[in-house]
Chain A
Amino acid sequence: MSQHEHGSGQAHGGHHVHVVPLSLYFGIITVLFVLTAATVITAKMDLGAYNTVVALVIAITKATLVVLYFMHVRWSKKLVWIMVGSSLVWFSILIAFTMQDYLSRGWG
């Protein structure tokens, strides 16, 4: 179990210091800027229903990068993954249960 914990191998009560290389942070921010430009450029095009799909895919990608790297979840323990995942599950329930009502009202 503790094999997972980089940095805590110092056998010092597990300080668990994780220093991410600067190049990784600058790489992530570059991708985030490029994706922001992409979301504006694709919104300018008329893609029909796909405008929303493209915008959401880009936004989810950006959010995932922030969560994994800036928020260090990629290097976090499984319990943190479960907490992040559970927030998404509850939010999905909110959307799914509400929309199955609204979207099916016209089916009469």
Chain B
Amino acid sequence: MSTSTHAAPVAVPQQAGHGAPGHGHGHHPGLAHHFDDLEQQRDSAVYGMWAFLAQEVMFFGGLFIAYIVYRNLYPEAFAHASNLLNVPLGATNTAVLLASSLTMALAVRGGATGSKPTQLIMLLATIAFGLTFLVVKYFEYAEKFEHHLVPGPTFMSDPAHVSPFFTAHPEEIPHARIFFFLYFAMTGVHAAHMLVGAGLMAWIFLRAKKGEFVPEHHDALEMSGLYWHFVDIVWIFLFPMIYLLGYHFGDHHG
């Protein structure tokens, strides 16, 4: 039913009503039959994607409000626990993600100009940056496991990796545990989004390779780009909120 509507000959002359003189064929093969034209189809995709992203704001919003509430309750524990994170790695990952957003924007631009090589190269670069981010994150997580900074029975049991603040104030350790729970929950959910994004980009890459994305119709490439940029924005907030709270103390133990 979907693309075989050519069988209805009446449909073809009606399309000419859009004022496309000399445009021989009835409609673009990428135009679904329930849309008037490609612009309406693209607009619907954009609105749908933003509705999904608004939902994503609420999804992450729950974790953000948990962070805000607990940080207000235990500001000192949060700042000192934050100081146990690795700022250079976090900053590196911020730069990597921003770079991936640039290559993503350039891939979508390659869709708008119809340049298949640009699409392919920039999508590969986006995937590479995304995987780089995840590899760095893996090393960060591994270090936290080794240092006993993962919420659990042995949390902060290694004196070499506990700042003097928590040695002097053991009653604050449960609050640091909340911080590290939020650290793993927020960055973990974010990393899950990165994994989904990398898979999405691999799929979009294969479609780009088939030459699917042309200037007048590259909605899938563009909508995937919106998702990728959104995940970047989440990290733009996570980085200062999680890594930099106690950076000015100077006694860094990460």
Binding site for B on A (CB under 8 A): 8, 11-20, 22, 25-26, 28-29, 32-33, 36, 39-40, 43-47, 51, 55-56, 58-59, 62-63, 66-67, 69-71, 76-77, 79-80, 83-84, 86-88, 90-91, 94-95, 98-99, 102-103
For A41, the closest partner residue in chain B by CB is: B247
Residue contact A103 to B72, C-beta cutoff 8 Å: yes
Residue contact B50 to A84, C-beta cutoff 8 Å: yes
Among B109, B216, B236, B239, the residue within 8 A (CB) of A66 is B236
Q: Give bound CA distance, A64 to B248, whole Å.
A: 26
Residue contact B50 to A40, C-beta cutoff 8 Å: no
B188 → A minimal CB distance (Å) = 20
Among A14, A56, A62, the residue within 8 A (CB) of B39 is A14
Binding site for A on B (CB under 8 A): 18-20, 23, 36-39, 42-43, 46-47, 50-51, 53-54, 57-58, 61-62, 64-65, 68-69, 72-73, 87, 91, 94-95, 98-99, 101-102, 104-106, 109, 112-113, 215-216, 225-226, 229-230, 232-233, 236-237, 239-241, 244, 247-248
Residues of A within 8 A of B225 (CB): 70-71
Residue contact B226 to A71, C-beta cutoff 8 Å: yes
Among A28, A36, A63, A77, the residue within 8 A (CB) of B95 is A36
